[in-house]
Amino acid sequence: MDLPGVNDNPIAEIERLKPLLKKRMAAVWLQDIQDNITVESLGMLPESPLPIGDINYPWQKLYKLEDAEIPAAWQALKESMTTADKEAREFNAANYKVLFDFSNGIPEGWDADGDGLAKVVPRGDFQILPTGPQFVESLYLPGIATASISSRLNGALRSPFLSTIETVHVSVLSAGRDQSAFRRVIDNAFLTEKQTYFDNPRYQWKVMSTSKGMEHRRIFYELATKTSNPNFPPRVGLGKKLTDQEMQSPRSWFAVNKIVGQVGPSPPKKELSAFLPLFDQSVPQNKAEAAQHVRDWLSGVILRWRDEESTDDEIQLLNNLLVTAWISKNSDHPEFKELVANYRALESKIQTPKTVNTLEDFDDGVNYRLNIRGSYYELGDAVPRGYLRVLAGDSEPHAFDVNQSGRLELAELVANPENPLTARVYVNRIWHWLFGAGIVDTPSNFGKLGGAPSHPELLDWLATQFVENGWSTKHLMREILMSHTWRQSGVVSSRALDTDPTNRLLHHFPTQRLSAECIGDAMLAVSGSLDDKLFGQPINPYRTAENDMKYLFSGPVDNNGRRMIYTKVTIMEPAKFLSTFNQPDPKIPTGRRDLTNTPIQALALLNDPFVVEMANNWSTEVTEDGNSQPEDRLYHMLREAYSRDISLEEVSKWKSAVEDLARLHEIPPTKIMESQKLWADVAHAIFNSKEFIYVR
């Protein structure tokens, strides 16, 4: 959603800084190798056996031997590692086939979006960690890496349909962290729970099924960062328990180098080509010479990385070196401190991309098969892409003759000025929200089972005006709000009530209860608690009991002063106060809200913590207003609450109530104006008056 180039300046500066930092890293690491890899330091390796592909495996085989045993052991080690490398290469060549190589860009058939995928990263590129004492933890293989510049940048990578892949399994050489996900999407169900999470900054093979036996389904893989994942945060059980910071942080990244196809469920074997130059040197005669060979070998790997001559296997070897103590990764190192600080300062200026889930026509459209009686497992004939047959009528073809999805054609039909429904349905919704009931009183049903319009000619005229004025909601509302119908009195005559008791003909302005959100907003506003700032993160509703397993956390009682529209809505447990006053169930679309009058609503106005706190806040505000007489304060409070002129008779009645409350609380007359408890009761009583929650 961002304008192009929003991060161009910091990215350009980072790209200028990176080569300088790489050169400095290589120089320091070369010296580290000479200083740190000695016979004595290598003797501190762990006792437990290391795997053959570990960077310290060769020395672990040597360091307990006597000097006289080194030549023979070296030869044996050379033969075993050369043989293991040869066997791994032959095995991989026979059993694995590269299906997709990302080294030179996005392969054909793949779809990619996100600022983190703007460029292919070269072999040996790296990510600078944004905080902490360690500034680097891995180097990249050539291909895709969303965090090459910053882990704030997002990315989503989508495969061709799995039915185009012949092998039963694939292995993905990938890395990632911070809840980036590998997802399997079936039939475009983008909220799929078929997702696993990357949690290793170093490349490893991830084996995935290609869902053979489900060729009738349209299935694809998706690799996505947090902000590009439509199912984040996931429900409990699909990943580790997340903290608030992890859920709010935009940082997330993944990297992918290649995907190979295979028959079995095992990943490719580790090849050892990066180790073989170690044995191109002369046979050492003692451990000191062997240690020198190790230093020379690793120095050569670092030099080739510096000069951009590395192989993929050597990058993997350097990633192994980064987890050892042999080289410096500390951001406070004198050679790194200034460059790393500059990098991190630039990276902090990168704006997190603003994302929204959308649909895109990437592949040719297909006709989905009918789910018989709604069953996912029972499929009928394919249904042509098109308009609803019952709406298209017999005179027009309802199927679309297009190669794409047909969504554009559907949108053009729906938004066509000649469509008899779209404008009328929309206009009726606006009328419903303004008057409390639509011209058609079933706003979600214009069919045979729906209500008939009370004023069909008016509905047609408003719909025509709406279309002719560019489908402008503002113009439509202005037309209605300036009308005599909207501005008429709410006073009801007995004759009109006898003739039309439900007011369908609108002979007076209908009394309406405020929506749940407006009731809360009104209390925030009159109490002086309203924060009218626009936009921002949603606020968790106040809860008496939290359930962190379901991500149901409690927010502040006063909603942080934000309007109720900013209250977070969850399917599992809606906000109690709002649902009490008929905020719709978030599971289903609701064109017309229920309107109930229940004892629990009265109890909420009496006892809900939000109502009580707003009354206390209002009391605090009015006791500091400078008024010296109860009548003046009551006039201003009632005018604020009811948005109309207040009569002297009303003020007199409320003053009597104030005097009764003073006697109840044993407050002397001289202390009435400063008693917060008394005026909190007055505020609470106003909240409980019918006029406060109704518009007439």
Q: pLDDT tens, 33-50?
A: 999 888 887 666 667 888
Query: Are the CB atoms for 618 and 683 separated by under 8 Å?
Result: yes
Compute the radius of gyration of the chain from its Cα atoms.
Answer: 35
Query: Are the CB atoms for 630 and 673 separated by under 8 Å?
Result: yes
Q: What is the pLDDT of residues 165-185, one digit of tens each?
A: 888 899 999 999 998 999 988
Q: Mean pLDDT across the stretch 114-138? A: 92
Q: Mean pLDDT across the stretch 78-98? A: 94
Contacts 24+ apart (CB under 8 A), 12-18: 13/346, 14/149, 14/150, 14/343, 14/346, 14/347, 15/149, 17/339, 17/342, 17/343, 17/346, 18/125, 18/126, 18/343
**CA–CA distance from 617 to each of 311, 505, 524, 559, 623 (Å)?**
68, 42, 9, 13, 10
Q: How far apart are the first and last CA of the chain?
A: 42
pLDDT of 567 over the 90 cut:
yes
- Helix, strand, coil fractions of the chain, as percent rounded to 5: 40, 10, 45
Decide: pTM greater than 0.95: no
Separation between Cα atoms, residue 371 and residue 366, nearest integer Å: 15
Q: Mean pLDDT across the stretch 542-560? A: 87
Instruction: Give the model's pLDDT for residue 214.
Output: 83
Separation between Cα atoms, residue 166 and residue 600, nearest integer Å: 61
- Please name the helix (run of DSSP H) or strand (run of DSSP E) that holds residue 100, with its range, or none: strand 97-101
Instruction: Give the model's pLDDT for residue 128.
Output: 93
In this structure, what token pair is assigned to residue 109?
Answer: 């058939």
Question: What is the per-residue DSSP string for 543-591?
Answer: -SS-BGGGTB----TTGGG--GGGB---SSS--HHHHHTTPPPTTS--S
Instruction: Tell me the torsion sign for CA atoms 218, 220, 226, 232.
Output: positive
Instruction: Give the model's pLDDT for residue 395.
Output: 56
Q: What is the pLDDT of residues 194-223, one digit of tens each?
A: 788 898 999 999 999 888 888 788 888 999
Query: Are the CB atoms for 55 and 324 separated by under 8 Å?
Result: yes
Instruction: Give the model's pLDDT for residue 157.
Output: 92
Res. 646 pLDDT band, cuts 50 70 90: very high
Sort 145 into a burial class: Cβ within 10 Å, 0-12 / 13-18 / 19+: buried
Q: What is the pLDDT of residues 392-440, one digit of tens each?
A: 666 566 778 888 888 888 888 889 898 889 999 999 999 999 999 999 9
Instruction: Give the model's pLDDT for residue 694.
Output: 92
Q: What is the pLDDT of residues 586-628, one digit of tens each?
A: 888 888 888 888 999 999 999 999 999 999 999 999 999 888 8
Mean pLDDT of the chain: 90
pLDDT of 457 over the 90 cut:
yes
Separation between Cα atoms, residue 424 and residue 462, nearest integer Å: 8
Residue 622 dihedral angles phi and psi, to the nearest 5°: -75, -30
Q: Which of 102, 135, 130 is nearest to 255 (CA)?
A: 102
Separation between Cα atoms, residue 489 and residue 56, nearest integer Å: 88
Query: Are the CB atoms for 25 and 128 separated by under 8 Å?
Result: no
pLDDT of 242 over the 90 cut:
no
Cβ neighbours around 367 below 10 Å, total: 14
Instruction: Give the model's pLDDT for residue 576.
Output: 92
Query: Are the CB atoms for 156 and 223 separated by under 8 Å?
Result: yes
- Please name the helix (run of DSSP H) or strand (run of DSSP E) that holds residue 169, with its range, or none: strand 169-177
Separation between Cα atoms, residue 181 and residue 156, nearest integer Å: 10
Structural domains of the chain, with CATH: 8-95+274-348 (no CATH), 97-262 (2.60.120), 369-412 (no CATH), 422-499 (no CATH), 513-696 (no CATH)
Query: Are the CB atoms for 224 and 155 separated by under 8 Å?
Result: yes
